[in-house]
Structure 1
């Protein structure tokens, strides 16, 4: 799965990602691709193979889902969260159980479930079809990569020794923002908005981290910007890391707190990583970020 940034850029995040899936009973297990008139546009997307045709569930089907799928759905979600917690480092959000919450955007979360909202000629229409779990091959995944300059999507096949394929990329300044959507399985959905008004709804265990980077809530800084106290704390942090750990990266959050992160290869599989991190204030002492900064 080799992929490397250009010599003058740094990989800030790499994480598995895919189109989201409907969570509310009327749209459970479904996803649609819409233009701004809510027309289905998947047949208009160049190069896309045919995919399943979804229809909202009837009341009868919803009642069956509630009885038969309530327990099973809870078990599946728990397993999913556990697995994604491992492959996504420490980025799984902890908090409100989405199954007990209500849709924040009923038109797009319970009445309909678009994972692409794109007028003709907009950027969202160019994302790769491999993001769709219903279309991509078995044992194939897509990784999202963020650098200082680019947002990329890489294709990774079953042969992890083969180079990853760059499926899509765009400049960071084409991304208008990103927001976590709490009403979703595990709270893992993220809406990424582009400057042309189009958007996609994706799912990743690294929701908060990816959203923070794309929303510019965390800024990569060189070690030279750290205070003496922060450098001393980083030196202690490095001694506590495994010998296989990567060189730490430093991010200044909007409120001034510095986040230090180091990736460590995970033992459960090649190409997977665990994230070790600390948060520190100006003197190097532990610090608490403001709500929403992570």
Structure 2
């Protein structure tokens, strides 16, 4: 799964990604590909293999799903109560979904569920079909990589020793925004907007950081712009890191707080990294992010 950025860029984030899936009862388990007239366009996308065809769930289907969900949640609750009886009430529930919030965009979340909204010739139409869980092969995933210059989608097959395949990429300035969508399973959905007004709804493991990076809330800061106290704090961070750590990168957040990140190769797999970070103020003192920073 090796893939490395060019010499003049670095990997800011790498995370699995796919087209999202409907969450509201009428669209649960579904995804559609639309133009701006709300027509289905998946048959117009060049090179795309055939995929599943979805229809809105009927009231009967919704009721069955609701009953089944209630039974499953009841079983989870019963198991949790039994565990708490043994361990003294200090257990943590695993596998339950967070409470639903209200749909932010009912037309595209509760009444329909487009994961691609794209007029002819727009960038969203160029996204690879491998993002679709209903089309891609078994034991195959897509990773999103964000660097300072671009957003890249990589295909990773079952052979973990094979190089990752570059499926698609676009310059960062072609992405005009990324919004976390709270009304989603596990809160993992994000809507990515492009400069031509097309968009895609995707699900990713690190939604907050993915959206934050693409929303361009961080300004890359050269070390020469740091105060003496900030440079001293960065030096202490570097001294605490393993010898194979990458050089730290500094970002000014909208509030003025400085974020410093350094990546260390992970032991779990080649090409994967752990991120070590600090937040600091004007003199290098610890700081907290403000609203809108991250």
CA distance in 2, matches of 1:199, 1:221: 29
Check 1:205–1:39 CA distance in 2 against 1; reply closer, same or farther (3 A cut). Answer: same
Does the 8 Å contact 1:23/1:109 carry over to 2? yes
Shift of 1:148: 2.0
Q: Which runs of 5+ in 2 are unaligned?
A: 77-96
Once the two structures are overlaid, the 10-residue window that deviates more, 200-209 or 61-70, is: 61-70
Maintained 8 Å contact 1:98/1:183:
no
Q: Is the 8 A contact 2:2 2:270 kept in 1?
A: no
Alignment map for 1:187-206 (pairs within 5 Å)? 187-206=187-206
Distance of aligned partners of 1:10 and 1:263 in 2 relative to their CA distance in 1, 3 Å threshold? closer
Q: Secondary structure at the match of 2:108?
A: helix
> What is the SS of the residue equivalent to 2:99?
helix
Q: Where do 1:120-139 residues align within 5 Å?
A: 120-139=120-139
Q: TM-score, normalised by structure 1?
A: 0.86
Residue in 2 that maps onto 1:215:
215
CA deviations 1:119-147 (Å, max 9, x no partner) are: 11111000000111111111211111122
**Residues 43-52 or 253-262, more deviating:** 253-262
Shift of 1:240: 3.2
In the alignment, is the contact (CA less than 8 A) between 1:99 and 1:183 conserved in 2? no
Q: For residues 272 and 185 of structure 1, what CA distance do their matches in structure 2 show?
A: 26
User: Separation in 2 of the partners of 1:269 and 1:23?
Assistant: 33
Alignment match, 2:106: 106
Written as runs of structure 1 = structure 2, the 5 A alignment for 1:223-234 is: 223-234=223-234
Q: How much does 1:109 deviate?
A: 0.6
Deviations 1:80-104 (A, max 9, x none): xxxxxxxxxxxxxxxxx75331101
Number of the residue aligned with 1:147 = 147
Q: Call closer, same or farther: CA 1:75–1:48 in 2, change over 3 Å.
A: farther
Stretch of structure 1 that moved more, 240-249 or 205-214:
240-249
Deviation at 1:177, TM superposition (A): 1.0
- 1:24 corresponds in structure 2 to 24
Give aligned pairs, total.
274
Select between 218-227 and 252-261 the one with higher mean Cα deviation: 218-227
How far 1:244 sits from its partner (Å)?
4.8
- After TM superposition, list the pairs within 5 Å mapping 1:240-259 onto structure 2: 240-259=240-259
CA contact under 8 A between 2:3 and 2:271: conserved in structure 1?
no
Q: Are the structure 2 counterparts of residues 75 and 128 from structure 1 closer, same or farther at C-alpha, using a change threshold of 3 Å?
A: farther
Cα shift at 1:202: 0.6
Secondary structure at 1:100 match in 2:
coil
Structure 2 match to 1:260: 260
Q: Name the counterpart of 1:87.
A: none
CA distance in 2, matches of 1:196, 1:35: 13
For 1:128 and 1:59, the matched residues in 2 are separated by 33
Q: Which moved further from structure 2: 23-32 or 258-267?
A: 258-267
Equivalences for residues 20-99 of structure 1 within 5 A: 20-70=20-70, 72=72, 99=99
- Offset, 1:70: 4.3
User: Could you tell me which residue of structure 1 aligns to residue 90 of structure 2?
Assistant: none
Which has the higher mean CA deviation after the structures are superposed, 111-120 or 179-188? Answer: 179-188
Unaligned runs of at least 5 residues, structure 1:
77-96
Which is greater in Rg?
Answer: 2
Are the equivalent residues in 1 in contact too, given 2:20–2:31 (CA < 8 A)?
Answer: yes
Over residues 163-202 of structure 1, what are the superposed CA-to-partner deviations in whole Å (9 max), with x where a residue is unaligned? 1111111112211111111111121111111111100001
Distance 1:75 1:235, change over 3 A: farther
Q: Which residue number in structure 2 is paired with residue 274 of structure 1?
A: 274
